């Protein structure tokens, strides 16, 4: 008797001691967290998020009944029968774990899970704490929660605090993240998906692993049916919904390249680190992104081995420089390095637009004749790739067939300083004024900057690529809004018209014929040996709103990994652009343009692969 009393007193003292170590629970904090950043399309669809994302607090009464039932089915089926601890479930879990000689079941109730969450967010314990004292605190807090709140309130706190993966906290945030809708609109299957995520948020969230999420949701649905929460008919209906809802998610989506870029741009626009929850409204166009991904993946899969390239990048801009689609590589899950904006590569003959543009400003006409014979400068002997010399060719033909000797002679005539000045007006800087190999494209440039420069030839305006339209706080306070800046033309209308004719002739008659979808495609090919292949240009129909520019690059990340010698810009890059343009024209007009029939593949006449960068030529090449 005495021993029993002493034991009870000891237990009481122990519990009183640990009760005194519990945090102040009069005002529960949401959490100490990283500010949330939501990346949205211009029409409000969330396409990405960063930080710890929270949304509206929802009550259980506001949610469809199947939502709490889905969580109870797999987390705590006797939630309404226990007082914080489910002894039946606890002892069953102990037995199952003993038989299996490992942990196969957990015995924590929803109330205990909420207690653990509160202890962690209030700083009373850590995530990795597995001590007996933590368990005692958890039990005490679970008892207190059951005494202080109703079951409905406990369930509400649980659903609004629990972690759903991808930096997302609370059921409403998870619903908007994964299904782009309020939690109040979740279907039975969607509720099952979210309930299934809790077992392992990194493994079962539908953004990263749609197939795992689907399988886990089926487990939840079967548990709901077994407990009488749903009938078989509803499960079948939910399974049909699953095929639709996760069908698109199972496709590889690389829009995260765009989201990462938009996130970094937002930080720059706000002057550094982000301190508040914000929404970043972007220029992203989901339909163009889907078409771009399909075109890139199709040619990587069908031609990657034939031409020995493993990576491709793509970018699409509106005529004002708004980035609408971006593919940074073969797949974001494989590599997060964004080759569309972060990789500076040698553009080869795609750089020649700056040389010819500067020559047009200098006074050259498209009909002027230039020698196309090989050039020799201080031991540097660049060749013309598969080009039979005619003696002289027009400026127009020199560009159309990418004749290296013509480009070099124009550069000698007008001077490298003129070329550098012209390129800088279009956003391409650091062009050498002392190295004549510049004429063959030895100035490193990103796909983004090169595409923006070509976009300038749509209207003659200098173009600066951008992707952020507006940044505002969650409560609507505007932190940034892009303004329409009126700038002077980059060049006059005569240069603009001649430049457009150069680009159109490449596609109609020259090295870019593989992309000749119709009369509104303008572009230039580029090849840096067997390391880089480019196709840069734009589609500019009479309906100006339908116009857009595009840039394509293919190659390998390692310099030692070479493509085949025929991997020119007029082959795979031109075909990727053609596939993209064709799909958009078909989507816009219902069928292909009357001029968009298949065309004969052109043999790319570029020769940057045979042109090592000229070195040590000094002032001899700085011909003014």
Q: Where are the domains of the chain?
A: 55-245, 289-621
- 451 HSE (CA, 13 A, CB side): 33
209 pLDDT band (50/70/90 cuts)? Answer: confident
Cβ pair 572, 309 in contact under 8 A: yes
Residue 187 to residues 181, 183, 247, 262, 491, Cα–Cα distance (Å): 11, 9, 16, 31, 56
Residue 121 pLDDT > 50: yes
- Distant-in-sequence, close-in-space partners of 574: CB < 8 Å, separation ≥ 6: 512, 513, 514, 515, 523, 525, 535, 552, 602
More confident residue, 405 or 135: 405
Residue 158 to residues 30, 165, 539, 621, Cα–Cα distance (Å): 11, 15, 52, 72
Average pLDDT, the chain: 83
- Tell me the percentage of the chain whose pLDDT exceeds 70: 79
280: DSSP letter: E
The pLDDT score that the predictor gives to residue 253 is: 58
The pLDDT score that the predictor gives to residue 12 is: 41
Tell me how far apart the 2 most distant CA atoms of the chain are, in Å.
Answer: 117
- Tell me the percentage of the chain whose pLDDT exceeds 90: 52
The pLDDT score that the predictor gives to residue 580 is: 98
* Beta-carbon count within 10 A of 301 CB: 10
Tens-digit pLDDT profile for residues 130-185:
566 667 777 888 888 888 888 898 889 889 888 898 778 889 888 888 887 889 99
Residue 516 pLDDT > 70: yes
Average pLDDT over residues 516-534: 96
Tens-digit pLDDT profile for residues 540-568:
999 999 999 999 999 999 989 999 999 99
Burial 102-119 (b: 16+ CB within 10 A, else e): eeeeebbbbbbbbbbbbb
More confident residue, 616 or 55: 55
In this structure, of 6-15, 50-59, 270-279, the range with the lowest mean pLDDT score is 6-15
In this structure, of 37-41, 66-70, 122-126, the range with the lowest mean pLDDT score is 122-126
The pLDDT score that the predictor gives to residue 241 is: 67
In this structure, of 295-304, 339-348, 611-620, the range with the lowest mean pLDDT score is 611-620
The pLDDT score that the predictor gives to residue 471 is: 96
The pLDDT score that the predictor gives to residue 88 is: 57
Length of the chain: 624
Residue 597 pLDDT > 50: no
Residue 106 pLDDT > 50: no
User: pTM for the full model?
Assistant: 0.74
3-class secondary structure, 87:
helix
59 pLDDT band (50/70/90 cuts)? Answer: confident
Burial 219-258 (b: 16+ CB within 10 A, else e): bbbebbbeeebbeeebbeebeeebeebbeebeeebbbbbb
More confident residue, 576 or 475: 576
Average pLDDT over residues 30-36: 57
Average pLDDT over residues 188-204: 92
Average pLDDT over residues 363-388: 90
Taking alpha carbons only, the member of 462, 466, 456, 463 closest to residue 503 is 456
Which CATH architecture does the domain made up of 289-621 adopt? 3-Layer(aba) Sandwich (3.40)
Whole-number Å distance between alpha carbons of 89 and 93:
6
The pLDDT score that the predictor gives to residue 5 is: 45
Average pLDDT over residues 70-92: 76
Chain position carrying tokens 């990789």:
343
Residue 401 pLDDT > 80: yes
Taking alpha carbons only, the member of 197, 458, 185, 223 closest to residue 321 is 458
The pLDDT score that the predictor gives to residue 177 is: 81
Which of the four CATH numbers 1.10.443.10, 1.10.3810.10, 3.40.1370.10, 3.40.50.150 does domain 55-245 have? Answer: 1.10.3810.10
Whole-number Å distance between alpha carbons of 269 and 320:
19
Chain position carrying tokens 């942990």:
103
Residue 65 pLDDT > 80: yes
């Amino acid at each position: 008797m005495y021993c029993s009393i002493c034991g009870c007193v000891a237990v009481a003292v122990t519990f009183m001691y640990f009760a005194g170590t519990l945090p102040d629970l009069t005002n529960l904090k949401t959490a100490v967290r990283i500010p949330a950043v939501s990346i949205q399309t211009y029409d409000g669809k969330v396409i990405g998020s960063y930080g710890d994302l929270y949304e509206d607090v929802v009550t259980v009464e506001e949610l469809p009944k199947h939502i709490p039932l889905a969580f109870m089915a797999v987390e705590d089926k006797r939630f309404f029968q226990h007082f914080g601890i489910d002894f039946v479930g606890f002892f069953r879990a102990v037995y199952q774990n003993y038989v299996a000689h490992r942990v196969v079941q957990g015995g924590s109730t929803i109330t205990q899970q909420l207690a653990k969450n509160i202890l962690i967010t209030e700083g009373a314990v850590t995530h990795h704490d597995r001590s007996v004292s933590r368990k005692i605190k958890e039990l005490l807090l679970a008892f207190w929660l059951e005494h202080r709140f109703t079951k409905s309130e406990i369930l509400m706190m649980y659903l609004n605090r629990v972690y759903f993966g991808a930096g997302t906290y609370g059921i409403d945030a998870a619903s908007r993240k994964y299904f782009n809708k309020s939690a109040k609109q979740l279907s039975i299957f969607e509720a099952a998906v979210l309930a299934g995520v809790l077992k392992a948020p990194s493994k079962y969230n539908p953004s990263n692993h749609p197939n795992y999420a689907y399988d886990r949701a089926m487990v939840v649905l079967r548990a709901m049916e077994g407990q009488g929460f749903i009938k078989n008919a509803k499960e079948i209906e939910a399974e049909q919904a699953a095929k639709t809802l996760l069908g698109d998610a199972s496709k590889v989506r690389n829009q995260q390249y765009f989201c990462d870029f938009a996130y970094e741009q937002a930080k720059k626009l706000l002057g550094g680190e982000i301190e508040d929850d914000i929404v970043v409204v972007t220029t992203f166009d989901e339909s163009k992104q889907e078409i771009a991904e399909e075109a890139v993946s199709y040619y990587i899969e069908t031609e990657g081995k034939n031409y020995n390239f493993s990576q491709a990048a793509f970018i699409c801009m509106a005529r004002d420089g708004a980035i609408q689609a971006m593919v940074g590589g073969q797949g974001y899950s494989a590599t997060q390095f964004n080759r569309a904006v972060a990789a500076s590569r040698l553009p080869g003959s795609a750089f020649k637009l700056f040389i010819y543009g500067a020559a047009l400003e200098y006074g050259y006409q498209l009909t002027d004749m230039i020698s196309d014979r090989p050039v020799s400068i201080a031991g540097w002997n660049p060749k013309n790739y598969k080009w039979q010399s005619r003696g002289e060719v027009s400026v127009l033909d020199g560009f159309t067939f990418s004749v290296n000797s013509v480009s070099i002679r124009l550069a000698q005539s007008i001077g490298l300083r003129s070329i550098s000045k012209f390129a800088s007006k279009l956003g391409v800087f650091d062009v050498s004024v002392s190295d004549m190999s510049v004429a063959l494209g030895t100035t490193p440039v990103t796909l983004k900057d090169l595409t923006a420069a070509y976009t300038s030839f749509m209207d003659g305006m200098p173009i600066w690529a951008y992707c952020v339209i507006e940044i505002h706080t969650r409560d609507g306070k505007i932190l940034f809004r892009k303004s329409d800046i009126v700038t002077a033309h980059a060049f006059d209308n005569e240069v603009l018209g001649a430049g457009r004719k150069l680009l159109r002739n490449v596609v109609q008659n020259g090295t870019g014929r593989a992309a000749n979808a119709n009369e509104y495609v303008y572009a230039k090919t580029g090849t840096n040996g067997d390391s880089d292949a480019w196709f840069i240009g734009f589609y500019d129909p009479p309906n100006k709103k339908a116009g857009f520019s595009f840039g394509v690059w293919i190659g390998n990340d390692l310099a030692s990994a070479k493509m085949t010698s025929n991997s020119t810009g007029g082959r795979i890059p031109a075909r990727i652009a053609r596939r993209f343009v064709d799909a958009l024209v078909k989507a816009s007009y219902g069928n292909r343009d009357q001029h968009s029939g298949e065309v004969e593949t052109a043999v790319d006449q570029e020769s940057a692969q045979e042109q090592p960068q000229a070195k040590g030529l000094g002032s001899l090449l700085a011909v003014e």
